[in-house]
A and B are shown apart, each in its own frame.
Chain A
Amino acid sequence: DVKVTQSSRYLVKRTGEKVFLECVQDMDHENMFWYRQDPGLGLRLIYFSYDVKMKEKGDIPEGYSVSREKKERFSLILESASTNQTSMYLCASSPRTGPGANVLTFGAGSRLTVL
Chain B
Amino acid sequence: GEDVEQSLFLSVREGDSSVINCTYTDSSSTYLYWYKQEPGAGLQLLTYIFSNMDMKQDQRLTVLLNKKDKHLSLRIADTQTGDSAIYFCAVPISGGSYIPTFGRGTSLIVHP
Partner-B contacts on A (CB < 8 A): 4, 31, 33, 40-43, 45, 48, 90, 92, 94, 96, 101-109
Q: Give the docked Cα–Cα distance between A33 and B33 (Å).
A: 17
Q: Are A106 and B42 in contact (CB under 8 A)?
A: yes
A residues less than 8 Å from B31 (CB atoms): 102-103
Chain B binding surface, main DSSP class: strand
Known: A40-B8, A40-B104. A102 touches B42 (CB 8 A): no
Chain A binding surface, main DSSP class: strand
A44 to chain B, nearest CB (A): 9
Q: Give the docked Cα–Cα distance between A31 and B99 (Å).
A: 9
Partner-A contacts on B (CB < 8 A): 8, 29, 31, 33, 35, 40-45, 48, 88, 90, 92, 98-100, 102-105
Q: Are A90 and B92 in contact (CB under 8 A)?
A: no
A90 to chain B, nearest CB (A): 6
Q: Are A103 and B48 in contact (CB under 8 A)?
A: yes
Q: Are B44 and A42 in contact (CB under 8 A)?
A: no
